[in-house]
Amino acid sequence: MDLFTLVLYGLALGFLLFSWIRDRSRTKETLRRAWKAFENILPQLFGVVVLVGIMLVVLSPATIGRFLGRESGLRGVMFAAVVGAITLIPGFVAFPLAAMLLRHGAGYMQMGAFISTLMMVGVITAPIEVKYFGRRMTFFAMAWRSSTLSWSL
Amino acid sequence: MRKIVARYRFTWITLGGLFILEIVNPHLGERAVVTIGYSLREMLLVIPPTFLLIGLIDVWVPKETIIRLMGKGSGLRGIILALLLGSLAAGPLYAAFPVVAVLVKKGTSFRNVVVLLGAWSTTKIPMFLFEITSLGSRFAYIRLVLSILGIILISMVLERVIDNREKEDILQSLASF
């Protein structure tokens, strides 16, 4: 566990202890609601984790790299953006992957697009977003996130 | 029982996909199972504090406080707070929705919800630190600045594009969760 997570644990447990000292029944209510919030996203959460696991092994870094590394120009950017949007690889894999691709001649623009859409768009997590925001909002949000990204690049 | 089956429909479908992969290519299937196990463990390790904080906010923080800090008239302070909350919290993007749910219930404005979700997905602090080490600080800082500008722009555009009635609907469905 990294330092950041430990600090968050410290914070949360500290507040919880404080809450327990102040008011036991409210603390029990706190725990009950925390659990309920967690249990609520559990079905989607399991689904996403399984889907990501499948994607990770089917679309290996080598596969993605073969397509992104050779491309250039606007087409490369678009391709990178699309790949970033539909794949869901964790940051600790994505950043070294992007670094490796950069060393092998991929453009900064392509990698910027790849990383940005990877972090922001998330087609795979869209079902969860739809659940909370409705189809229209999700669509708008994704479209805008994509377009402003290409604009800022 | 039938309820559980229905609620976890998405999970069953993906498990079906995993099963098919296992049959088509057992080697890849096995690696997928290992990866899934790893991410589940990682997730269950990182996620608890975020949900404890959700419970604590839900029970202890009065509605007036959140309205004042992140409600409709909260202005720049609300945006900064939403950016900070999104960047500081731990867990994948789908853990952000319950956080948003409790904040909306307490009166957070639509725009700040969008900002928080944007920050959650792009300006996470641990990710940023990691980005610096692997892609260099110049790349990381430029992307951070552009991301923040992008997030704020997106929130403003969405604020205009989505009409008030739909905003209310969205906030309501978020809060009733």
pLDDT surpassing 70 at residue A66: no
Report whether pLDDT(A22) > 90: yes
Residues B34, B82, single domain; the answer is no
User: For residue range A104-146, what is the model confidence (pLDDT) as tens digits?
Assistant: 666 677 777 777 777 666 655 666 666 666 666 666 666 655 5
- pLDDT for position A113: 77
- Whether the pLDDT of residue B40 is over 90: the answer is no
Model pLDDT for residues B85-108, shown as the tens digit of each residue: 998 877 777 788 888 889 999 989
Per-residue pLDDT band for A153 (boundaries 50, 70, 90) equals very low
**Of A50-64, B47-61, B86-100, minimum mean pLDDT range:** A50-64
Contact flag A19-B58 (C-beta cutoff 8 Å) = no
Residue among A2, A51, A117, A135 with most chain B CBs within 10 A, to mutate: A51
Nearest to B134 among A95, A116, A131 (CB): A95
Q: How many domains does chain B have?
A: 2
Q: Are B36 and B69 contained in the same domain?
A: no
**Are B75 and B92 contained in the same domain?**
yes
Report, in angstroms and rounded to the nearest whole number, the Rg of chain B calculated over CA atoms.
19
Residue contact B53–A11, C-beta within 8 A: yes
Position B35 scores a pLDDT of: 85
Q: Mean pLDDT in chain A?
A: 73
Mark whether B134 and B155 lie in a shared domain: yes
ipTM: 0.80
pLDDT of residue B10: 79
For residue B134, pLDDT over 70 is answered with yes
Highest mean pLDDT among A7-21, A102-116, B30-44: A7-21
Same domain, B51 and B136: yes
- Whether the CB-CB separation of B148 and B123 falls below 8 Å is answered with yes
Residue A51 has pLDDT above 70, yes or no: yes
Claim to verify: residue B113 and residue B170 sit in the same structural domain: yes
Tell me which of B101 and A87 has the higher pLDDT.
Answer: B101
Residue B138 has pLDDT above 60, yes or no: yes
pLDDT at A151: 45
Secondary-structure breakdown of chain A: helix, strand, coil percentages, each rounded to the nearest 5: 85, 0, 15
pLDDT at A15: 95
What is the span of the domain harbouring residue B154?
Answer: 47-175
Q: Nearest to residue A77, comparing CAs of A4, A147, A150, A9?
A: A150
Please tell me which of the candidates A16, A44, A132 has its beta carbon nearest to residue B174.
A132
- The residue of chain B nearest to residue A45, with distances taken between CA atoms, is B94
Residue A34 has its nearest CB partner, among B11, B52, B158, at B52
Distance CA B99, CA B120 (A): 11
- Do both B11 and B72 map to the same domain? no
CB A81 within 8 A of CB A117: yes
What is the reported pLDDT for A29?
Answer: 95
CB within 8 Å of chain A, chain B residues 106-165: 114, 118, 121-122, 124-127, 130-131, 134-135, 139, 143, 146-147, 149-150, 153-154, 157-158, 161-162
Please check whether residues B2 and B80 belong to one and the same domain.
no
The pLDDT score that the predictor gives to residue A109 is 74
pLDDT of A152 > 50? The answer is: no
According to the per-residue pLDDT averaged within each range, which of B47-51, B132-136, B156-160 is highest?
B47-51
Picking from B34, B10, B119, the residue whose alpha carbon sits closest to that of residue A130 is B10
Residues B153 and B116 in one domain: yes
Chain B's closest residue to A101, CA to CA, is: B135
> What tokens were used for B27?
């080697």
Residue B118 token pair: 């944007």
> Do B114 and B81 lie in a common domain?
yes
> Are the Cβ atoms of B90 and A140 closer than 8 angstroms?
no
Taking only the tens place, the pLDDT of each residue in B114-124 is: 899 889 888 88
Q: How many Cβ contacts (< 8 angstroms) between chains A and B?
A: 219
Q: What's the pLDDT score for residue A149?
A: 53
What is residue A72's three-state secondary structure?
coil
Instruction: Measure the N-to-C terminal CA separation of chain A; round to a whole number of Å.
Output: 34
Q: Which of B59, B139, B166 sits opposite A26 (nearest CB)?
A: B59
Residue at which a domain ends, from B30, B46, B62: B46
Is B24 in the same domain as B6?
A: yes
Looking at the structure, do residues B20 and B100 belong to the same domain, yes or no?
no
CA distances to A26, A82, A147, B32, B102 from A14, rounded to whole Å, are: 15, 43, 42, 37, 20
